[in-house]
Amino acid sequence: MKWPKGFEPEHSWVYAHNEITIAAPPERVWHRLIRAADWPSWYSNCADIRFQNMPGPDLAPGTNFIWNTFGATVNSTVLVFDPPHELGWDGKGLLPVYHGWLFEPVDAGCHVITEECQNGFLGAIGSWYLRPMLLKGHQEWLESLKRIVEGGE
């Protein structure tokens, strides 16, 4: 994972790591994930995505988007865009975050890893609550991605 300076797991208050294997090639999984405008239709923890500097519906290098997730409005910018291998964006809202995705080809299709690091005052005092919430929400995201990719929707 290409972590921005200060967001490495060992330097963050909150760190979440989830993974899943999807029976599809990495290119197909990548295509579904970068179509951010569709997230609210298949991931219940996402709403109201508004592209700021690009038309969408797909993420691209440098895309700035504002969205609602985990009950908060977050302003994100795509910082890593390496198709179909790695994707990552920052988040500015209640606390500073970095969310990254890795796509690894495997015999069964694609192994997807998603990780997030959170910092700031809220991360320091709320890690006991934030980490389990992230793990649960990100697992739902991965399982929803698997369902939509494998189902051919």
Compute the distance between CA of residue 20 and CA of residue 6 in angstroms, rounded to an integer. 27
Percent of the chain predicted with pLDDT > 70: 99
Burial bucket for residue 81 (CB in 10 Å: 0-12, 13-18, 19+): middle
Q: Please tell me what DSSP assigns to residue 125.
A: H
On the question of pLDDT at 94 being above 90, the answer is no
Confidence band, pLDDT 50/70/90 cuts, at residue 130: confident
Query: Could you tell me which residues are beta bridge partners of residue 140?
Result: none
pLDDT band, very low/low/confident/very high, at 122 (cuts 50, 70, 90): confident
CA distance readout (Å), 58 to 36, 121, 142: 6, 32, 18
What pLDDT is attached to residue 7? 92
Question: CATH class for domain 11-150?
Answer: alpha beta
Token pair 């790695």: residue: 86
Give the type of residue at 50. R
Amino acid 110: pLDDT: 98
What is the rounded average pLDDT of the residues 54-69? 96
Does pLDDT of 16 surpass 90?
yes
